[in-house]
Amino acid sequence: MSESEKFTCLIVGAGPAGLSAALTLARAGVEAAVLERGEYPGSKNVMGGILFTTILDKLLPEFWREAPVERHITQRRFSLLSKDGEIGIDFKTSAFNEPPFNHTWSVLRAKFDRWYAEQVEAAGAMIIPGMMVSELILEGGKVVGVKTQPGGDELRCDVVISAEGANSFLAEQVGLRRVHDPKHMAVAVKEVIGLPQKVIEDRFHLNDSEGSAWEVFGQAVKGTFGSGFIYTNKDSISIGVGSTIHDMKRHNLNPNDILELFKKHPSIYPLIRGGESLEYAAHMIPEGGYTHLPKMVANGLILTGDAAGLVNASHYHEGTNLAMASGVLAAETVMEARKKGDFSAATLRAYEQKLAQSFVIKDLKKFQKVSAFFNENAHILRDYPDVLVRLLKDYFAISEKPKAEIEREVIARFKREIGVINLVKDIFKMGRAMR
C-alpha cells in the first residue's frame, strides 16, 4: 500500500459515535474514512428507540425538518408492573411541542442512521460500507491501521477511532477491555409492531406528531434487573425488554419469553392489539456505568460510544447522545494530535479530560450507584410491585365494609408485608444511589 493511501483517521462503525466523529473531521478537512460492516449504515444498528439530540442539533441544526424521525416525545411514563396490575407516573406537557422539542425523539435506527450517514457523506466524509474490521494492526506498541474482512485488506492510518459498539473487539485486542462481565451487560430484544397512525394516537392520547416513551419495571422483566419499554413511532410501536445477561442466565430465561410475557400483560396488550409484527431485533447494552469505564485511549486508538461503555443506564436510558458527544470529542482530540504530529496515548488522553468535563461523564458519575443498588436489592423490583398492587387493590375494592376498617387492614397488611422501617430504608438507600 502506498503512502498516499494512508488516512489520518479511520473510524470503525457508522453509528452515532462514528458518524459524529466523521462529520466533525470532514468539516475540519481531515482525511478520514468510516468503515461499516453493514451493507449500508444503519443495517446493524438497534436501540429501543429514543434519540436524545442536544449534540445532533449542534451538528445539524434543525435536523428534524429533514431527518426520518418518528415522533417528538411529549409524554414520559414510568410504571411498576405486578403480575396483573400496574402503578405508574405519567408526565405530559405540550411545552415539548416547541422546537427543539426537548431534544427527545423516537427513531428507527436503520432509517435514521442511514440518513445521518448521507449527511456526513455530503459534508465530505468517506463512508465505506460492507467492510468489517477484524483486527487492529500494531507496530511498536502503536495502532497503525486495520485489517478488514472480506478480502483481508489492510488500511493504514495515524489513529483509529473505535465506534464499534457494545461488542468491543478492538478494545479487547489492545487490552483496554476484557469480555464484559455478564452483570454489566444487558441483552435487549425488541419488536416493531405496525399499527395505523390514528390507532396509535388514540391509544396513547397523542396529538399529531407527539410521542410517548414508557419505561416499565418489575414484572415487565419477571422482576430481574432490567426494564421493558414501549415507544411510539409514526405508524408503529417499538416494544421490548432488556435485562442483564447475569440475571437471564441465573433464572434460565430467554429474552423472547420475557418479551412475550410483557406483550400479554393486561396493561400492555390493549396497546398492541390488532398490530402486525414487522421486525424482531436483539442487541446488547453495556450498563457497567461510571465504575466500569475502561481506559479510553491507547497509542493511536480512541474508544467512543458503546465501545467505551458510555451508556447512562438509569431511567434516562441515554446512550446515543453520549455516543455523539464522544464522537465529536474524539474528533477534536484527533485534530489537536494532528497539529502536534503526535498520536500517542499521552496526547490522546486529552479526550478523557474532555469527556470528564462534559455531561457524559458527569451524568455517568451521578448515576454510578444505581445499578449496584438494584443488583444488591433485587427484592425491590421483584417483590414491591406485587405487594403494592395488592395493597391498592384492597384499598380501592368496593364493598360494604366501612372505609375506616379497610384502611386499618391495608395499613396492617403493609406493615406485615413490607414494614415501614424497611420501606423507609429502601427509599433512603435508593435516594442515596440516585444522588
Kindly report the backbone phi and psi dihedral angles of residue 204, in degrees, each rounded to the nearest multiple of 5, phi listed first. -105, 5
| Strand 301-303 with 154-162, pairing | parallel
Candidate residues 275, 288, 327, 385; the one interacting with another protein per rule CB under 8 A: 275
- Which amino acid, residue 346? A
Candidate residues 193, 337, 361, 364; the one interacting with another protein per rule CB under 8 A: 193
DSSP state of 151: T
CA distance to 17, 98, 131, per residue, from 221 (Å): 29, 35, 36
Candidate residues 83, 103, 295, 429; the one interacting with another protein per rule CB under 8 A: 83
Among residue numbers 244 through 273, which ones bind another protein (CB under 8 A)? 245, 248-249, 252-256, 260, 263-264, 266, 269, 272-273
Segments in 239-377 forming alpha helices (H): 245-250, 255-264, 269-272, 320-340, 345-348, 350-357, 359-366, 370-376
Q: How far is the CB of 292 from another protein (least distance, A)?
A: 13
Evaluate the CA torsion angle 142, 145, 146, 147 in order and state its sign.
negative
Q: Is 26 in the site for another protein (CB under 8 A)?
A: no
Q: Is 100 in the site for another protein (CB under 8 A)?
A: no
Q: Is 226 in the site for another protein (CB under 8 A)?
A: no
DSSP string for 349-386: THHHHHHHHSHHHHHHHHTTTHHHHHHHTHHHHHHHHH
Q: Is 81 in the site for another protein (CB under 8 A)?
A: no
Q: Is 175 in the site for another protein (CB under 8 A)?
A: no
Q: Is 108 in the site for another protein (CB under 8 A)?
A: yes
Candidate residues 1, 139, 175, 179; the one interacting with another protein per rule CB under 8 A: 179
Q: How many residues bind another protein (CB under 8 A)?
A: 63
Task: Mark residue 341 as left, alpha or beta (left: phi above 0; alpha: psi -120 to 50; beta: remaining).
Answer: left
Q: How far is the CB of 255 from another protein (least distance, A)?
A: 5
Q: How far is the CB of 46 from another protein (least distance, A)?
A: 5
Tell me the C-alpha distance between 401 and 205, whole Å. 36
Closer Cβ to another protein, 119 or 358, answer by number:
119
Say which residues have a Cβ less than 8 Å from residue 348's Cβ, sequence separation at least 6.
159, 297, 298, 299, 300, 301, 302, 333, 337
Query: 152 by DSSP, 3-state: which?
Result: coil
Among residue numbers 281 through 310, which ones bind another protein (CB under 8 A)? 281-284
Q: Is 139 in the site for another protein (CB under 8 A)?
A: no
Tell me the C-alpha distance between 269 and 78, whole Å. 17
Stated length of the chain: 435
Q: Is 346 in the site for another protein (CB under 8 A)?
A: no
Q: Is 124 in the site for another protein (CB under 8 A)?
A: no
- Which triple of cell numbers denotes residue 263? 406483550
Q: Is 132 in the site for another protein (CB under 8 A)?
A: yes
User: Computed over its alpha carbons, how large is the radius of gyration of the chain?
Assistant: 23
Instruction: Write down the residue that cell numbers 435508593 correspond to.
Output: 430
Q: Is 418 in the site for another protein (CB under 8 A)?
A: no
Q: How far is the CB of 188 from another protein (least distance, A)?
A: 8
Q: How far is the CB of 408 from another protein (least distance, A)?
A: 26
Q: How far is the CB of 356 from another protein (least distance, A)?
A: 27
Closer Cβ to another protein, 261 or 325, answer by number:
261
Q: Is 402 in the site for another protein (CB under 8 A)?
A: no
Closer Cβ to another protein, 174 or 193, answer by number:
193
Residues that bind another protein (CB under 8 A): 37-39, 42-47, 83-84, 108-111, 113, 129-132, 134, 148-150, 166-167, 169, 179-180, 182, 185, 187, 189, 191-193, 236, 245, 248-249, 252-256, 260, 263-264, 266, 269, 272-284
